Amino acid sequence: MKSINLSNLFTIMWLALSLTFNSCSSDDDRVFAPPAVEEPDESVASIEYYLTTSDEANLVELQETGVQSLQDNNSFTINIDESETYQTMDGFGYTLTGGSALHLNNMSASARNTTLNDIFGSESLHSSYLRISIGASDLDQAPFSYNDLPPGQTDINLDNFSIAPDQTNLIPVLKEIIAINPDVKIMGSPWSAPVWMKDNGETVGGSLQPQYYGVYADYFVKYIEAMQSEGITIDAITIQNEPENPFNNPSMAMTAEEQADFIANHLGPAFTAAGITTKIVIFDHNPDNISYPISVLNNATANQYIDGSAFHLYAGQINSLGAVHNAHPDKNIYFTEQWIGAPGDFAADFKWHIRELIIGATRNWSKTVLEWNLAADENLQPRTNGGCTQCLGALTISGNDVTKNPAYYIVKQASSFVKQGSVRVRSNTNTSLPNVAFKTPDGEVVVIVLNDTDQEQVFNINVESNPITTRLPAEGVGTYVWRNN
C-alpha cells in the first residue's frame, strides 16, 4: 500500500466534501407549493411544448395539447428563477471524426448540403459546437499525425509539418459547416503526438518524451495557425484525449504532473509568444478521478493559461463535474464525449443521455454537451485497427441515404432551442422530474424535463411570465419554450 502524505489526505477529504455539497444549490430538491392561480394575461409569452416519447412516436415534436394555464393542484412545481444565473452555454453538438467527414464528403453535393443544413442550420437541429481530432482519432481509416516520419528520424523544427491529411475530407466539410453556421465553435483534441516524440515509438500508448515538450507545443501552434489559414478558427484545444487510456489506437498516456508541466513551461508560453488566443482545456477524461484536473489547476503557473476542464462519462458520476467547478470556480467545464453502442436502444439511450448529460452535465456547470460521433456507415466504419468497433453515429450514412439515430434526437432536444449564448438559470428538481432551465439571448425561457418514471406525471412549471400545468408520458422528455410575443 502506498503511503498518503498530509497534502494528499487533505485533498481526498476536500474532494469528499465537495461531492457532498455538489454544484447544485442545497435546496434544489425542495418541494415548492404551487404558485397562486391568476387570471391569464393575453400579453404574456406564448408557450411551445416539444415532446419525445420512448416509443419514438414523438421525436422532438411540437404538441398541440398537454399544456394549460396553471391549475389548482398539489403536484410538484418546478420554479424558475431567472435572476439566479450560472454558466453561459457554448452549445450542443458532436465530434466530427475523420470518418464522419469521409462519409459526408462522399455524398452528392445536394445530399450533403441537405444533411449539413439539418444539423447546423438555424431552422432545424442547430448544432453550435464541434469537436475534431488533431491528427487521427480511432474513427479514422488509419492512425496519422501531421508530422509522420520514417522510424529513427526526428524533426525538431517541424519542417515536415502539414495538415494535408485533413485536406481531402475534414477541411472541405468544415468549410461547408461554417458557411451554414458561422458561429459554430470548434474544439481540437489530439489522440496522440507524432510517434517519434513518444517513448515507445508507437501509435498506441506510450508517453511524450520530456525533450520534445517544447516541440510538441510548437506543433499545437502550427496546427492552429494552419487551420486559421483555411478560415477555420480553433476556439479551444484539449491537451490529450483520455490521457489515462493508453489502449486505444491512437492513444497516449499523460499524467497530471506531466500535463501541468507541459502547459506551464511549454504550451502556455508558446501560445503567448505566438499571440494564440485558443483556449487551453485540460483532462478530457472521466470524472472518476477528479484529482487529476484539480491538481493541474492547482499548479499556479499552469493555471494562468488554462480555460477549464473537459470530461467524458464512461466512469464516475456526473455530479463530480460540479466538484471540479467548486474547487476552481473561475474555470470552465466542458462535456466533450459520450458514445452510444450499436445497434442502440432508443428508449434506454435517450433517457440516460438526457438525464446524465443534457440535464446532468449542464446542471453541473458544463458549457457544452457533445455526443460521439456525428456519422458512421452501416458497418460502423471507418475505424483504426484497435479503434471502437461499436460506436453508433448520430447519423448512419450509406451513399446519400441518411438514418437518424438516438444521438441525433438527444442533441436536438436541447440545441434547437437553447441557443449559443444562453445562460442556465435556477430551477429546483427531484428524482422523478429531473430538469434544467435556460434563458436565451432573445430573452426566451427554455425548460427541459425528463419523466424518469414508468407513469405519466402531471406537474407545474412556474415561469413568472406564464406559469403552467403540464403532463409528460412515462419516460417522456419535454422541452418547453416561453416565446416572446
One-letter amino acid of 3? S
Q: Catalytic site residue 244?
A: no
203-206: long-range contacts at Cβ-Cβ below 8 A with a sequence spacing of 24 or more?
203/143, 203/249, 203/250, 203/251, 203/384, 204/246, 204/247, 204/248, 204/249, 204/250, 204/251, 204/386, 205/246, 205/247, 205/251, 205/252, 205/253, 206/246, 206/252, 206/253
CA gap 449, 480 in Å, rounded: 8
Q: Which three cell numbers stand for residue 321?
A: 463535474
> In terms of residues, how long is the chain?
485
Do 284 and 293 meet the contact criterion of CB atoms below 8 Å apart? no
Strands 401-404 and 445-450: unpaired
Angle between helices 406-415 and 346-353 (to 10 degrees): 40
Q: Catalytic site residue 56?
A: no
Exactly one of 337, 371, 444, 475 is catalytic; which is it?
337
245-257: string of b/e by CB count within 10 Å (b at 16+)? bbebbbbbbbebe
Exactly one of 38, 56, 176, 242 is catalytic; which is it?
242
Strands 395-398 and 91-95: unpaired
Question: Active-site positions?
Answer: 242, 337
